[in-house]
Each structure stands twice: as structure tokens, then as C-alpha cells.
Amino acid sequence: MNITQTEEIRCSWCLSSQTYIDYHDNHWGIPIYEDQKLFECLVLESAQAGLSWITILMKIDGYRRAFHQFDVNKVANMSEEEQEELVLNPEIVRHRGKIKATVTNAQAFLKIAQEFGSFSKYFWAFSDNKVIDNRPKTLADVPVVTELAQTISKDLKKRGFKFVGPTICYAYMQAVGMANDHIEDCIARKK
């Protein structure tokens, strides 16, 4: 009797480490509607600018401690002294501009939440509250930037956000599930 073992297929970008696989299988591309989680993802995606995602994944716990478990109200009120202390914190990316941007972005995030009822309502309105399922056949079919990401980036910048260029915005759209870019045969599509 021949037993055929089926191999689980995943997006190839996540195969280099178990940390990546866990993130891919349990977080990436799953729609998020809670403001606190949307804020957390925005902070992490902005911190990733110019770095590899694994660098940020390895520091998530440090980010949680440094930025009050991503309590947007507490982050928005962080003092200059607190921000300067974080420049010395090895548990996060010690980039003064990104640290200051996190506080600035928290303040802008709160303004949007007040204007629209929640950041989630504002953000998801860009896609008419729908997941954009690109159904890429291979990783080469996954865009780095889209017209919608450019639109979101432009609007966020107009509202005072920093480190939210179109590439970061598209990565954010993927991370929070607005854009589903799991390849067609990926096991994450079956979940």
C-alpha cells in the first residue's frame, strides 16, 4: 500500500524561520478591525521601514513593553524624556525618527478615531469594507505598491502621519488583512 503524504504549501517568503511561519500562519492577512491591533500593526510596519520584517518580529515583545502594550492614548501622551529613553532601548529599533513618529502617529490616529468613530471605520472605508483578494499564483505576482496604497499613504501623510509611504502602507494592508496576498495554494487560504 502506497501512502501519499501531502506537503503543506506556504508563501515562500515565510519559509526561512519558524518565527516567520508562525506569523504567516496565524497573523498575516487575517482581517483586523480592532483599533488597538490596527495601531500595533501600524507601529510595527512603520518601524520596519528599511529593515527586514524578521528584525521587527524578533522585537515585538520589546515594542509592547516600550509602547505601553500599544495603548494609543498612552503612546500619544509619551513625553520627550520617555522618547529619548527609548533611543537607548535595545529591545526596539533605536531610531529617534521612528520613535518620535510613533508618538506623532498615535496622536493622528486618535484624531481620525474621533472624526470617524474609529480608526477601523476610516481605514476599511478605503476598500469599501472588503478584503481585496489578489489571488497571486506566485510570490512574483504580489505587488509591492498599489494605487490604493498610494491613496492611503497620501491621506495619512496629509493627516500628519510619518513613515507611512506607499510601500509601508501596502505592507500594512497585507498585515491587517485588507489585501490578501497569500499565494493560491497556500495553506493559509484554507484556514
> Catalytic pick from 23, 122, 124, 170?
23
Instruction: Let me know if 172 is a catalytic residue.
Output: no
> Catalytic pick from 45, 122, 124, 172?
45
What residues pair up with 179 in beta bridges, in sequence order? 132
Cα gap 1→14, rounded to integer Å:
34
Instruction: Let me know if 28 is a catalytic residue.
Output: no
Cα gap 36→70, rounded to integer Å:
7
> Catalytic pick from 20, 53, 63, 170?
53
7-13, Cβ contacts within 8 angstroms, sequence gap of 24 or more: 8/187, 9/183, 9/185, 9/186, 9/187, 10/186, 10/187, 10/188, 11/139, 11/181, 11/182, 11/183, 11/186, 11/188, 12/139, 12/183, 13/139
Instruction: Let me know if 23 is a catalytic residue.
Output: yes
Cell of 69: 502594550
| Catalytic residue ranges | 23, 45, 53
